[in-house]
A and B are shown apart, each in its own frame.
Chain A
Amino acid sequence: MRGISKRFDTTQALEDVSLSLYPGEIHALLGENGAGKSTLIKIMTGVHPPDRGEIRLDEKPISLLNPIQAQTHGIAAIYQEPMVFPDLTVAENIFLTHRTRSPFVNWGRLYRDAEDILKQLDVKLDVRQPARGLTLAAQQTVEIAKAISLQVRVLIMDEPTASLSAHEVRQLFKLANTLRKQGVAILFISHRMEEVFEIADRVTVFRDGKWISTKPRVEVTPDGAIRDMVGREIHDLFAKTETARGETLLSVKNLGKERTFQGITFDVHRGEVVGLAGLVGARRTDVGLALFGVEPADVGEVVFAGKPVRITAPQQAMKIGIAYASEDRRALGLVMPMSVTENISLPMLREYLYGLGLINFGAEKKTAMQFRERLAIRTQTVDVPVAKLSGGNQQKVMLSKWLNVKPQLLILDEPTRGIDVGAKAEVHAMINELAEQGLGIILISSDMPEVMGMSDRIVVMREGRQMGIFTRAEATQETILAAAMGQG
């Protein structure tokens, strides 16, 4: 792949990136969240066409305009969550995308061929069994078998080990080695440093959509790779102003939820911003959801404003003064066809009623207009559906909505994802202002400079576990990323 570029709206996801894969090599791709790994996969599998650049296979340029073209060129991908069809048998799943000339299924041959492929991989699976009920690892095996049945040349493995047990990881590596011997080129993407060093032949690092380095594994050290991944300047765009740290507002001890996270312990003081850092799959959002009562925790103690609480529903969380602004504006944050006003008042509609449940439109609109001014939401009227606003302005509407609840603790989940630099600066200014007013803030963000710039303290998570807490003075990009990757 040469000179690949891809832009989404305002973000340059990939910029002039080149990468070569050789037959029979396992090539690891490393990078922080947002480094462009997923975009590269999508380009290689034909989901998104690149804006610029060319892709060559066997030295011949190929076009990958859709997933079917990628498939016919022998490029396949398996993901952390396998995409099998649960009601079809293993054999049907393997051969699902094959086109046969006959309209009838030759079941005998189908099963025989499936068994052949699985034998070639040295795995034992009943090909007649439906995929439902298979373990995640077995489902991945089915996906790999499917790729092989399609004469795979290039296999992309995107975080394949994230949900596997240690034993299953061994099995998967054995499979990968088998494929390597057969001359398949494997692109292996993982946040687990030790796995990368165990299996990869070469290691490439991306950062912020750019290619940084490609080196043989023997020349790479974990520290060196982490430096490559973070080696950027932090500009003072994200400076948090120093605020007086007040009394303890929230105290979380050993918070846990089965199969999700465990042993989460931290405090948030009034006027303090606590960042939750980690890579994809660190389960930071789950902690936020637990504190807001959407997906309550199973174990652990939460003390809020001096009182022990068990938060089991969003209504309850709002009542005691906790608000949660979701990362997913579209699905969870806003009601798109509703107006700015209606969205802002939604959680607090009770405060805007005359008797008999009649809405006081005047008061409601007044609040909306106050927030429009305070957060500089750019819209001519507050009566337009929020669907029509830009991402940054939608984000401000969502912040308004939660500020209107007058929370003591505000959980912000990726508050600046997908919004432009100007709007981002405004959101950061807002966070500063709120902290000065004595709010406690939990900032969940995958944007490393943002977390480091805005947080007084940073809790680093990795796969549902707390890896450490760093004060602003202690935190460097290297220490945080090392902790997030389990190298701390």
Chain B
Amino acid sequence: MGQTLRRHFRPEQIRELSLVFLILGVLVFFSTQIPNYLSPRFFNRIASDVAIIAVVAIGQTLVILTRNVDLSVGSIVGVTAYVVGTFLTGNHELHPVLAVAMAIAIGAVLGTINGVLIAYGRVPAIITTLGTLAIYRAALVELSGAKTVVIDAMPRWLQELPGVTLASFAGLDVRLLVLIALAAVIIFQLVLSFTNLGRRLYAVGSNPDGARFAGLPSEQVVFIAFVLCGALSGLAGFMFLARFGNITVVAAQGMELQVIAAVVVGGVAIFGGQGTIIGALLGALLINILQQSLIRWISISAFWIDALLGALILAAVAADALILGRLRNLWARSEVQMTEADEKRVVGADVPK
């Protein structure tokens, strides 16, 4: 089977395929354990949850590809949700598009702060974003005076937004927010696969020194990744506000763990240079489905859910090291065989004397 499989798929794609099968396997397993498991309501809920995580995971993927990490995403989501929510409380007439733009802008500004410090100030990303994680959150507590944004004070369109459904098949809703997230995933996957920026993100992450020697503006690439991550977290902040309505100062606290888990489980290499946004989306899906299912199956407590998340990250990294490493070797070996066969054919034909 080897050759055909190897010609058509790269190890990374196999990984994504195996995630799809894993998700299906999980669904099949729980459907035998939990009565009425595969209900439309269950899937709608997962879709709405994952939509928010996935949008943040896109940004996180961009950052991790460059061999950095952004721990402040949860705080950015919280700040954006709160600030936009507060603003809308007093300005019901604000156009929805402007509200979204405002959220993205706030996120982008916070991401810019990260980006400047990391790309140009050369402070390690883990330190910088650990700092801004706390600072953004503390600023929120300070500015808000610990007041809460309440859904009843929101304009009508926002209250109705989570329920806006464009189409429905057998109870499965295609909701606007989910579509927005899906659009973002597709757009950024295309950016990674087909644009100059995408190529540069991979190059800078795989070999920072090599990228510098190739004359790539590494600082600028890292900076852009952080700004985009902030902007996407801002968009997610708006979605968070729309979905939950009631925003306290602890909104989206700890989200960074879920997002990083999704990205890593989705096959994005924590040392940069490898991974896809589709993978990150699949990772987010798998994690969310497991969480929801386990709660219903054995009424597992929220604390155990965190432990589960941790275990999943470890399993993903281990799988990466063991399975993917082995796959790559297998591929490399067959490639060498092919190349050697090539060389035998080529040698003598066009070697300059």
Contact = CB atoms under 8 A, between A and B. Distances in A.
Nearest to A318: B215
Given A338-B202, A388-B339, A359 B196 contact: yes
A422 B347 CA distance: 10
Interface string A7-26: 00000000000000000000
A389 B200 CA distance: 22
A384 B335 contact: yes
A55 to B, nearest CB: 34
Interface string A310-337: 0001110110000010100001111111
A378 B332 contact: no
B342 interface: yes
Contact of B351 (A332, A342, A376): A376
Contact of B213 (A326, A349, A357): A326
Given A335-B207, A359-B196, A346 B338 contact: no
Given A349-B199, A376-B346, A378-B343, A388 B215 contact: no
Contact of A331 (B196, B207, B343, B350): B207
B195 A376 contact: no
Contacts of B342: 378-380
B107 interface: no
Interface in A368-383: 373, 376, 378-380
Contact of B352 (A379, A401, A426): A426
Contacts of A313: 215
A349 B209 CA distance: 18
Interface residues of B, number: 33
Task: Name the residue in B195, B199, B202, B206 with the highest tally of chain A Cβ atoms < 10 Å from its Cβ.
Answer: B199
Contacts of B131: none
Given A378-B346, A387-B332, A331 B214 contact: no
B212 interface: yes
A418 interface: no
B217 interface: yes
Given A332-B213, A336-B206, A359-B194, A342 B199 contact: yes
A330 B57 CA distance: 31
Contacts of A294: 212-213
B203 interface: yes
Nearest to A401: B214
Given A342-B199, A346-B214, A359-B199, A334 B207 contact: yes
Interface in B323-353: 332, 335-336, 338-339, 342-343, 346, 350-353
B121 to A, nearest CB: 19
Interface string B210-247: 11111111000000000000000000000000000000
Nearest to A378: B343
Interface residues of A, number: 43
Interface string A387-413: 111100000000001000000000000
Task: Name the residue in A326, A334, A335, A401 with the highest tally of chain B Cβ atoms < 10 Å from its Cβ.
Answer: A335
Contacts of B195: 356-359
B274 interface: yes
B206 A337 contact: yes
Contacts of B266: none
B74 interface: no
Contact of B332 (A318, A353, A388): A388
A429 interface: yes
A346 B199 contact: yes
A132 interface: no
B352 A333 contact: no
B115 interface: no
B130 interface: no
Contacts of A353: 196
A350 interface: yes
A7 B203 CA distance: 34
Nearest to B211: A335
A294 B3 CA distance: 43
Given A353-B196, A376-B350, A378-B342, A347 B206 contact: no
A388 B335 contact: yes
Contacts of A292: 213
Nearest to B197: A357
Given A336-B207, A359-B195, A379 B339 contact: yes
Given A376-B346, A384-B335, A333 B213 contact: yes
B222 to A, nearest CB: 16
Nearest to B273: A337
Contact of A314 (B199, B212, B335): B212
B339 A389 contact: yes
A315 B200 CA distance: 15
Given A356-B195, A359-B194, A429 B352 contact: yes
Given A338-B203, A357-B195, A359-B196, A314 B215 contact: yes
Given A335-B211, A359-B196, A346 B217 contact: no
B57 to A, nearest CB: 22
Nearest to A422: B351
A429 B353 CA distance: 8
Contacts of B346: 376, 378
A339 to B, nearest CB: 10
Given A334-B207, A338-B203, A376-B346, A324 B352 contact: no
B277 to A, nearest CB: 17
Contact of B216 (A346, A373, A389): A346
B274 A337 contact: yes
A380 B338 contact: yes
Interface string B287-303: 00000000000000000
A390 B197 CA distance: 29
Contacts of B352: 376, 425-426, 429
A358 B338 CA distance: 32
A349 B339 contact: no
Nearest to B206: A335
Contact of A357 (B196, B202, B274): B196
A422 B332 CA distance: 23
A401 B203 CA distance: 14
Contacts of B338: 380
Task: Name the residue in B203, B212, B352 with the highest tally of chain A Cβ atoms < 10 Å from its Cβ.
Answer: B352
B33 to A, nearest CB: 40
A315 B217 contact: yes
A46 B13 CA distance: 42
A347 B214 contact: yes
Interface in B163-216: 194-197, 199-200, 202-203, 206-207, 209-216
A315 B215 contact: yes
Given A317-B215, A326-B213, 16 more contacts: A331-B207, A331-B210, A332-B209, A333-B213, A335-B206, A335-B210, A335-B211, A338-B206, A346-B216, A347-B215, A353-B196, A359-B199, A387-B332, A388-B335, A426-B351, A429-B352
Interface of B: 194-197, 199-200, 202-203, 206-207, 209-217, 273-274, 332, 335-336, 338-339, 342-343, 346, 350-353
13 contacts: A313-B215, A317-B215, A331-B210, A332-B210, A333-B213, A337-B273, A342-B199, A358-B196, A373-B350, A376-B346, A376-B350, A378-B339, A388-B335
